[in-house]
Chain A
Amino acid sequence: MPGPATAPAVALPRSRKAAAGVSLLFSLVRATLLLGLVSVAVFTVTELLPGDAADLRASPGADEEQVRHLRQELGLDVEPWRRYLDWVGALISGDPGTSLVNGRPVVDALAQRLPATLTVVAGAMALVVPASSALAWWAGTTRRGRRMPTAVLTGGAAVPMAVVAAALAALFSGHLGLVPPVSLIPPGAAPWHHPELLFLPVMSMALPTAFFGGSLLSGSVADTVRMPHVVDARRRGVPSWRIALVDVLPFLLTPFVRVVAVSAGGLIAAATVVEALFGYPGMGSLLVSAISTRDLPVVQATAVLAAAIVLLGLLLADLSAALTEPEHGRTT
């Protein structure tokens, strides 16, 4: 098999490994730094709100003295930075406090909602991965009239997810009457026991994300199929499935993993929209209802957890990129 003869003089595997280690360390530092920034931002934003937990908890008609006492009891009278550190410490030890609205531990609410969100995100990803790969391949390998595929990908990625969700609901639920318009999962039942309720949320998350992932990936595909060793293999009459498998795909592994991580992170955030529209009981609808009822412990914990999941995904992508790159340096 011809190696990538045009690749620049490759550094020794050892220094490559060191470089991979450095980049991995960098991405670890970056993820930690970002998570810290997010927690500071979430804490600051919740501090900006008028009124605090003492005002909310104080029985109506309580006078200044009683509220001040309650504030002291709840530890709200110390400096903000100390409260921030206490809060982060509690988060790290796995205790984000109790909800201000119903007095239940926040952990319980998260444990109940997280699997539901992960179910729809996983379902959507199961569709996004093959669909965006196919779209990227189509757009990247089309030789004549490249404007059309790019227009389709850009346009498909631009349509807001709420629009896709509403259009699908109007079509499948309103016009055809195939699925129920709301995805209320009965309490105690697992979401995957009701696939008909998952159809609308999963489809409306998967469609725009597939186009988004496809447009991100199509550039890499186009670059790879124009690489000299691919052009060379095509000229020598190597069958196209073999070119795709041996000469093209290994070069796409790293961008592919990154696109998957970015898409999954976007889906975690986008799940809020779909969950709110269809009344699906996930983490996103928990966050939104907590924001509108000013249930700060729930807001703080949910936002930080969502950011942590997104950053963990990116970190895993960096890890697998670092693992795959030296690998194909050795084999080729």
Chain B
Amino acid sequence: MRGLLVPLSLVVATALVLFGGWSTPYDPNATAGAPWQAPNPEYLLGTDALGRDVWSRVLAGGGRLLTVSVVAAVCASVIGIAGGLVAGWSGGFVARLLTACADLFLALPSLLLALVAAIALPWQSAVVVATVCGGAPLTLRVVRDAVRSVRSSGYVEAALLRGEHTSSVLLREVFPAMRGLVCADLGLRLVVAIQVCAALGVLGLGVSPPEPDWALMLRENMSGVASNPWAVAAPAIALGVTTLLFALAARPPSREHDDRRPAGTGREETDHA
């Protein structure tokens, strides 16, 4: 039962984020009443500086952010997996070169890369660039190690002996063995992508003002935090809970693979120690 809690709430939250904008009580971009009203029955979470309904804006404000983050995370994951498959399979010089290049990018914080990219590129591309540069190297490492350990296993050697082509062995035998690992890793990349998205939005380099966006709402409503704290707290909670759910959903399989043994035996060992 508890194992289902996180995935289930993740699905509900994703549906709310993506489709919440369709059923807002007010137009999220139009003035609905007096500015900076505290929460009341008419406006569930009060109004913001321009008198727009905060609840409607929260409902509509996550779709774009999540879409861009998912695209960025998938890009980072795909590039990292490709690099990891090549590095783990070929070994030797190629592996060392790929790992060295990957390590090079890891030294810089993703946000700094995003800021540099945001100078000239539109914010969506900046998020993708930063997530790929900061995330693909980590995926590459994880996948490389997994490929190395799978490479010498019986079914891979059997496929090779059957005379199958390397690329088909990689795609049909090696890759499916790492499904759980790759899913968990995708979740981690998504969390970083959301963080970068949120940071750019708060800095005013993301979605342009009239549109509803959680990060932009944080920036816009900070000046009125004393009159209507919910104008800041509501988008903060929405953004925080969404990120938290993705991070928690990404966790269990990655831990299992970190330990390289099922969770149960790990616990037993520590008990004996």
Q: A258-296, CB under 8 A of B: which get 1 and which 0? A: 000000011011101100111000000001100110000
Q: How far is the CB of B188 from chain A (nearest CB, A)?
A: 9
Query: Are B120 and A226 in touch, CB under 8 angstroms?
Result: no
Among A58-66, A148-156, A245-253, the stretch in contact with B? A148-156
> Provided the pairs A160-B199, A162-B202, A266-B109 are in contact, do residues A181 and B223 lie with their beta carbons within 8 angstroms?
yes
Q: A53-73, CB under 8 A of B: which get 1 and which 0? A: 000000000000000000000
> Provided the pairs A163-B243, A306-B112 are in contact, do residues A291 and B119 lie with their beta carbons within 8 angstroms?
yes
Query: Are A151 and B119 in touch, CB under 8 angstroms?
Result: no
Among B54-62, B85-93, B214-222, the stretch in contact with A? B214-222
Is B233 engaged at the interface, CB distance under 8 Å to the other chain?
Answer: yes
Query: Are A181 and B226 in touch, CB under 8 angstroms?
Result: yes
Query: Are A276 and B236 in touch, CB under 8 angstroms?
Result: no
Query: Are A166 and B118 in touch, CB under 8 angstroms?
Result: no
Query: Are B203 and A181 in touch, CB under 8 angstroms?
Result: no
Q: Give the complex CA separation of A311 and B202 in angstroms.
A: 25
Contact of B116 among A41, A155, A158, A163 (CB under 8 A): A41
Is A30 engaged at the interface, CB distance under 8 Å to the other chain?
Answer: yes
Query: Are A307 and B247 in touch, CB under 8 angstroms?
Result: no
Is A175 engaged at the interface, CB distance under 8 Å to the other chain?
Answer: yes
Query: Are B199 and A169 in touch, CB under 8 angstroms?
Result: no
Q: B192-210, CB under 8 A of A: which get 1 and which 0? A: 0011001101111100000
Is A24 engaged at the interface, CB distance under 8 Å to the other chain?
Answer: no
Q: For B267, list chain A residues within 8 Å (CB).
A: 144, 146
Classify the interface of chain B: helix, strand, loop or mixed.
helix
Q: How far is the CB of A65 from chain B (nearest CB, A)?
A: 28
> Provided the pairs A160-B195, A307-B112 are in contact, do residues A167 and B240 lie with their beta carbons within 8 angstroms?
yes
> Provided the pairs A162-B215, A173-B226 are in contact, do residues A30 and B118 lie with their beta carbons within 8 angstroms?
no
Q: Give the complex CA separation of A163 and B198 in angstroms.
A: 8
Query: Are B104 and A33 in touch, CB under 8 angstroms?
Result: yes
Categorize the interface residue count of chain B: 35 or more
> Provided the pairs A34-B107, A45-B120, A277-B202 are in contact, do residues A160 and B222 lie with their beta carbons within 8 angstroms?
no
Contact of A160 among B103, B194, B232 (CB under 8 A): B194
Contact of A159 among B201, B203, B225, B240 (CB under 8 A): B240
Query: Are A276 and B219 in touch, CB under 8 angstroms?
Result: yes
Is B51 engaged at the interface, CB distance under 8 Å to the other chain?
Answer: no
Query: Are A167 and B226 in touch, CB under 8 angstroms?
Result: no
Q: B145-158, CB under 8 A of A: which get 1 and which 0? A: 00000000000000
Q: How far is the CB of B237 from chain A (nearest CB, A)?
A: 8
Question: What residue in chain A is nearest B230 (Cβ atoms)?
Answer: A170
Is B251 engaged at the interface, CB distance under 8 Å to the other chain?
Answer: yes
Pick from A219, A234, A306 the residue with the most CB of B within 10 Å: A306
Query: Are B119 and A299 in touch, CB under 8 angstroms?
Result: yes
Residue tally, chain A, CB below 8 Å to B: 65
Q: For A177, list chain B residues within 8 Å (CB).
A: 226
Q: Give the complex CA separation of A45 and B255 in angstroms.
A: 39
Is B128 engaged at the interface, CB distance under 8 Å to the other chain?
Answer: no
Query: Are A270 and B111 in touch, CB under 8 angstroms?
Result: yes
Is B108 engaged at the interface, CB distance under 8 Å to the other chain?
Answer: yes
Query: Are A45 and B116 in touch, CB under 8 angstroms?
Result: yes
Q: For A146, list chain B residues within 8 Å (CB).
A: 266-267, 270
Q: Give the complex CA separation of A114 and B61 in angstroms.
A: 34
Q: How far is the CB of A258 from chain B (nearest CB, A)?
A: 11
Q: How far is the CB of A180 from chain B (nearest CB, A)?
A: 9
Q: Give the complex CA separation of A182 and B222 in angstroms.
A: 8
Q: How far is the CB of B258 from chain A (nearest CB, A)?
A: 8
Q: Give the complex CA separation of A234 and B270 in angstroms.
A: 13
> Provided the pairs A155-B247, A163-B240 are in contact, do residues A45 and B117 lie with their beta carbons within 8 angstroms?
yes
Q: Give the complex CA separation of A151 and B251 in angstroms.
A: 8
Q: How far is the CB of B67 from chain A (nearest CB, A)?
A: 17
Query: Are B204 and A288 in touch, CB under 8 angstroms?
Result: yes
Q: Give the complex CA separation of A171 and B103 in angstroms.
A: 40
Query: Are A174 and B219 in touch, CB under 8 angstroms?
Result: no
Query: Are B204 and A162 in touch, CB under 8 angstroms?
Result: no
Query: Are B204 and A276 in touch, CB under 8 angstroms?
Result: yes
Is A37 engaged at the interface, CB distance under 8 Å to the other chain?
Answer: yes
| Contacts of A208-246 to chain B: CB distance below 8 A | 219, 226, 231, 234
Q: How far is the CB of A164 from chain B (nearest CB, A)?
A: 8
Q: Give the complex CA separation of A288 and B199 in angstroms.
A: 11
Pick from A46, A159, A287 the residue with the most CB of B within 10 Å: A159
Question: Chain A: residues with CB nearer than 8 A to chain B?
Answer: 30-31, 33-34, 37-38, 41-42, 45-46, 48-49, 143-144, 146-147, 150-151, 154-155, 157-167, 169-171, 173-175, 177, 181-182, 219, 226, 231, 234, 265-266, 268-270, 272-273, 276-278, 287-288, 291-292, 299, 303, 306-307, 310-311, 314
The 8 tightest CB contacts between A and B, nearest first, are: A174-B229, A158-B247, A269-B109, A166-B236, A48-B120, A160-B198, A174-B225, A269-B111
What are 14 A-B contacts defined by CB distance under 8 Å? Answer: A38-B116, A45-B117, A45-B120, A158-B246, A162-B215, A165-B218, A166-B222, A167-B236, A170-B230, A174-B232, A182-B222, A226-B270, A273-B203, A276-B219
